[in-house]
Amino acid sequence: MRWRWLAGLVAAIAVVGYVVGGNGMWDRVSNDFMKEDKPYGPGDFRLRGDKVLSMKLTNPETTFKPREERSDPNRAEPTEAWMGNVSEIANRRSVRILGGNLDGEVTRRFEEPAQRADWWLAPDWSTLYLATGWMDYHEEPAPGERYTPQLTQLFKSTDQGATWERLEWPEGQNISFLRFLDAERGYLIGWGPRIWRTEDGGEHWEELPVPDGACNPENERQQFDLVALGRDNVLRMAYFDPESGTSPVYALPWGEDTPRLELTLPQHTVSDIVANEQGMVYVLAREGRPRHLTAAEERDQPRPSSVWGWNGETLQELHEFAPQLVGYALYLTPEEGLLFDGVDDSSLLGSDITAVSYDGGGSWKIEDEGRSAQGGYYDAQTGERWRVSGYSLYRREIP
């Protein structure tokens, strides 16, 4: 029976076009991409021509004394006392905005203490928003409180991070995600969950209602499983309902004030949502409950990823991937293809996997992009996919 199952799996993978390896897939663009910024890491970077911008969450640099200066020569000893204190290291984490050129220097343009951060960069790079969250890891929650307070800040730059304006924002209201239509219009989504909207570039914010079922009275830091802004200018939010075992997806078109139930996905947790200009919606989901709602003994059970389609009237499962292929993101390519972005977790090291469908999710070409990279992203406007491995930057096209 085991051999029959393996043969069936091989045949199924062959049908959708699994390509092992990646020789000739990537073009190397740089051999020392962002090498100078320490600790090393490319961050959440973006490229436009030869220009680079990156939002990078980073730990402080730590060093160790040479053997002859240690109190115990056989044990590593931090150079400074704080480097051995977990809370102090957490307190010294920061977010950086780095910018420069591919063939030149990439430097720090902004840095702020933060353990959490999210950003939004306008497609023409005219405007950049950055939200940061920092808490004191030495501080205990106040009596009767469940959590230590987090300090939240909101920043804006109109010159690619060279100068910044701190926008007025209540420090106690977390911002987890930024979703913008353009430089003037957008949403902030925070713990609760809560949603705010601006129409004037962040000068004023209006709080909007959220679905009752998304909130947990016992958890003030509850979040949506997924928040996405489609090409149809509709904000969609999804959460798992433990009582029904379903994931409701709510839609909020720009200009409307109250989200409405759009669809309900049975027995799946939503990972990503994309929608084209005509409002055709595609949902990437994983079978079962979110991990934090799954019993410990069930967390290692196979949980296939699948792509679903919603045309405004009918919800249809378009494709279920092999259980070892775990999807994290879904994109619409410039040629209206569907791009599944994930990993093959069947091996210890893992591999980055993409799958593309140009017939609305009916058939897929799956490609192994190589061992998991240190960073990368897909540009849905240009069709360029970027990958960093070691200090090298690679590029390929998925039109």
295 confidence band (pLDDT: 50, 70, 90): confident
| Least confident segment among 125-129, 188-192, 236-240, 286-290 | 286-290
pTM of the model: 0.90
Task: Render pLDDT for 370-394 as a digit per residue (tens, 0 to 9).
Answer: 988 899 999 999 999 999 998 999 9
Read out DSSP for 115-139?
SEEEEEE-TTSS-EEEEEEE--TTP
Percent of the chain residues past pLDDT 90, beyond the cut? 82
How many angstroms separate the first and last alpha carbons of the chain?
41
Nearest alpha-carbon partner for 343 in 329, 359, 331:
329
Q: Which residue has the higher pLDDT, 129 or 371?
A: 129
pLDDT of 5 reads: 36
Length of the chain: 399
Q: Tokens 């020569």 identify what position?
A: 73
Task: Render pLDDT for 227-280 as a digit per residue (tens, 0 to 9).
Answer: 999 999 999 999 999 999 999 999 999 999 999 999 999 999 999 999 999 999
Do 339 and 333 meet the contact criterion of CB atoms below 8 Å apart? Answer: yes
Task: For residue 238, report the phi and psi dihedrals to the nearest 5 degrees.
Answer: -130, 145
21 confidence band (pLDDT: 50, 70, 90): very low
396: number of Cβ within 10 Å? 18
Instruction: Compute the average pLDDT of residues 1-10.
Output: 37
pLDDT of 12 reads: 39
Q: What residue ranges do the domains of the chain occupy? A: 35-175
Task: For residue 166, report the phi and psi dihedrals to the nearest 5 degrees.
Answer: -85, 120
To the nearest whole number, what is the mean pLDDT of the chain?
Answer: 91
